[in-house]
Amino acid sequence: MTRTNVTLALLLAAGLLGPRAHAQNPDPMDIRACTAIESDAQRLACYDRATGRVNLPTAQKRMNENAAAPGVFASDKSATQGNPEVSRPMSLLDSRWELSPESKLGTFNVRGYKPLYLLPVFATSNQNAQPHSPNPLNTVGTPQQLQNVEAKFQLSLKTKVWQGVFGDEGDLWVGYTQSSRWQVYNNKISRPFRETNYEPEALLIFNTNYQVAGWDGRLLGIGINHESNGRSNPLSRSWNRVMGNIGFERDGWTVMFRPWWRVPEHGKDDNNPDISDYMGRGDVQIVHEWNGQEFGLMLRHSLRGGDRSHGAAQLSWAFPITGNLRAYMELFKGYGESMIDYNHNATYLGVGISLLDWY
């Protein structure tokens, strides 16, 4: 091949010649750029754009129909505004919960859920050395020899097990979160795990499409949740809940409301009969993304007055170090930092690293 022919071939591949052909065929440089995208959902959307999938007649017809008749439950909500051939950036809720049709990845893909982190330093000035409960079987008689500085880590994963439960509407997810508080610096008592909480859950998630005071209502869900510390009396703690999930978004902001109802337990089987008055009946999580950083605020309350009024707040901050590795800080104040501390009021500060932040 002559030098002229090589030059023409390169210009054609880069899309500098033949604009009509470029409109019909994918640009190979676009596909190469897609491989650098870390988010699975965003990378898939990039491939769809690069290969012209957004221009398929069937997909175009469906988007036009949806634009003409939007609904509150919006699996039909397009990822475009104005021009259906130009995709807008995927939102935080969409990338984590695969809400829009073009972000669907199918079933049994393991995904991150809540923050994944390791905090070598997790400190408090008021360690709970003698946990107690209104149930006499769940009250520790002798104080434990605990240090105020320990380590904490959390693992949290989810996967979709059923896509399109009601036709095109609703996805069924299962999730698992495990968080541990480790007295790793306490050699006097052989460095035990002070508390580990196990939280399996199942959630039915719907994509929604409505606006409230400038916020986009993007997610509605209901689920069942079990949380316990897997210990025997007197340290056993557990509860079961039916939980709602209501998600809102606007540029750079995500808000998730989670009201819940505790499934009642009775008599000696209830390790913590007053847990709802301390760990609450609902919470709200506010996440703000700015300049590559992520700020999170969790607020939780018992939704009762007088002596039954208790709550908690948690502030988190994450910023990139290198690649997917991020520095992570967590500040907690109030009741229920863990199950064993459900009725213990304290302030905790943790510093470490994370691989995934909220939602």
- The pLDDT confidence band at residue 29, using thresholds 50, 70 and 90, is very low
Confidence of residue 301 (pLDDT cuts 50, 70, 90): very high
Tens digit of each residue's pLDDT (9 = 90 or more) over 65-79:
444 444 566 544 443
128 or 67: which carries more pLDDT confidence?
Answer: 128
Written as six digits, the tokens of 158 are 């989810």
Strand partners, 326: 320, 354
Give the pair of three-digit tokens for residue 343. Answer: 């009725």
Q: Residue 75 carries which side chain, given as an amino acid letter?
A: S
pLDDT of residue 42: 67
Task: Cite the active site residues.
Answer: 226, 228
Q: What is the pLDDT of residue 73?
A: 60
* Residue 179 domain-assigned (yes or no): yes
The angle formed by the CA atoms of residues 195, 197 and 202, to the nearest 5 degrees, is 180
Sign of torsion over alpha carbons 176, 314, 339, 203: negative
CA dist 15 and 21 (Å) reads 8
Residue 24 has pLDDT above 70, yes or no: no
Q: What is the pLDDT of residue 240?
A: 98
In angstroms, what CA-CA distances link 149 with 179, 294, 297, 342? 16, 25, 23, 19
Residue 317 within a domain:
yes
**Helix (H) or strand (E) segment spanning residue 139:** none
Alpha carbons 238 and 202: distance in angstroms, whole number: 17
pLDDT for res 84: 43
Residue 143 forms part of a structural domain? yes
Give the residue-averaged pLDDT of 199-213: 96
pLDDT of 86 above 50: no
Is 197 part of any domain?
A: yes
Q: Find out whether 147 and 127 touch, Cβ atoms under 8 Å.
A: yes
Does residue 150 fall inside a structural domain? yes
245 is a domain residue: yes
Confidence of residue 269 (pLDDT cuts 50, 70, 90): confident
Secondary structure element (H or E) that encloses residue 43, with its range:
helix 40-50
- Taking the alpha carbons at both ends of the chain, their separation in whole angstroms is 53
Which domain range does residue 279 map to? 111-356
Please tell me the predicted confidence (pLDDT) of residue 30.
Answer: 46
Number of domain units in the chain: 1
Given pLDDT bands bounded at 50, 70 and 90, which one contains residue 19?
A: very low
Which run of H or of E encompasses 28? helix 28-34
The four Cα atoms 44, 111, 293, 350 give a dihedral, to 10 degrees, of -170
In a domain, residue 195? The reply is yes
8 Å CB contact between 254 and 92: yes
pLDDT at 28 over 60: no
Does residue 34 form part of some domain?
no
Q: What CATH number did the domain enclosing 218 receive? A: 2.40.230.10
Q: Give the mean pLDDT of 89-102.
A: 86
